Amino acid sequence: MKVVVLAGGVGGAKLADGVARILPPEDVTIIVNTGDDFEHLGLTICPDLDTVMYRLAGVANDETGWGRAGETWRTIGEVGILGGPDWFKLGDLDLAMHLTRTHLLRTGESLTAVTQHLCQKLGIQVSVLPMSNQPAPTQIQSGDIIYPFQTWFVQEKWQPPVTKVLLPEDVRATRSVIRAFETADLILIAPSNPFVSIDPILDVYPITALMEDLPKAVIAVSPIVGGEAVKGPAAKMMQELGLQPTSRAVAEYYDERIDGFVYDVQDAGSCDDLEMETHCLDTMMFTEEDRIQLAQGIVQFAEELMQ
């Protein structure tokens, strides 16, 4: 079964890792949100790509969920002393990724090619693709204020209430992304934030059309468990955008875009009467074993769905 995973940061990275551990690498493509990307301190920073790559490479920081294991903070500490912006916590190892990526981009390589280079150096065998080679910055509108995504997310600690998520127009998918969709049997929407991790990917032309037209199963995994987001602002955003912070509301939000929905056993029964196939699994991924088990459960559900 050829699987395309649509992933944001932490949750997406974990499920991507589970899938990568149970299928042959040539059958797995992770398409990653780049709406969070930004230019900072002169560097091109791609937080979701980094989180996915660090996890797949086995160098992720298990405590924070983002960044690298065994990280140190010497440079960013000194940036603060020198009066530079230190609100975005760039670790010493993590900085190497941003410096190398920025260098390669400046030589004229595409983000797709640069990502492939970095994956190869990190020993990652599955295909990791940015959703687009174009900059596609997500912005957060809060009343009259429009925040660049990372300003809202990190600097403002996602506290300003969200009126609207603003996605750029005319962002186009790469050939590699289109080819991945065309050859996939299963499109798996990871348990990432629907509004700021998944929507930016679905909004890239022609991804939604490809998902509608091609005969493949689309399964989403709920990022909401027991009325709360496992990590990040998803539940808070749902309330601010007029939705209930529940798995059921996530399924209803994706609606006709998905064929199947996986949600946590803690919410068992809450999605039974939806007009799509639903399946309860333990979606909490604390360990590698958890990630593998969830991926196995999803693949099994997908196989049933496709029969």
User: What residues line the site for a second copy (CB under 8 A)?
Assistant: 39-44, 72, 74-79, 81-85, 92-93, 95-100, 102-104, 106, 117-118, 121-122
Return the number of the residue (23 or 41) whose C-beta is nearest a second copy. 41
Task: Tell me how far apart the alpha carbons of residues 216 and 73 are, in angstroms, rounded to a whole number.
Answer: 45
Return the number of the residue (72 or 287) whose C-beta is nearest a second copy. 72
Return the number of the residue (121 or 157) whose C-beta is nearest a second copy. 121
Least distance to a second copy from the beta carbon of 37, Å?
14
Pick from 82, 46, 47, 51: nearest CA to 65 = 51
Least distance to a second copy from the beta carbon of 155, Å?
14
Task: Tell me how far apart the alpha carbons of residues 122 and 59 are, in angstroms, rounded to a whole number.
Answer: 9
Pick from 86, 89, 87: nearest CA to 67 = 89
The CA-atom distances, in angstroms, between 49 and each of 56, 57, 113, 119 are 11, 12, 13, 10
Return the number of the residue (92 or 228) whose C-beta is nearest a second copy. 92
Return the number of the residue (122 or 284) whose C-beta is nearest a second copy. 122
Please say whether the beta carbons of 171 and 134 come within 8 A. yes
Least distance to a second copy from the beta carbon of 216, Å?
34
Least distance to a second copy from the beta carbon of 97, Å?
7
Is residue 188 helix, strand or coil?
strand
Identify the H or E element spanning 217. strand 217-221
Least distance to a second copy from the beta carbon of 21, Å?
23
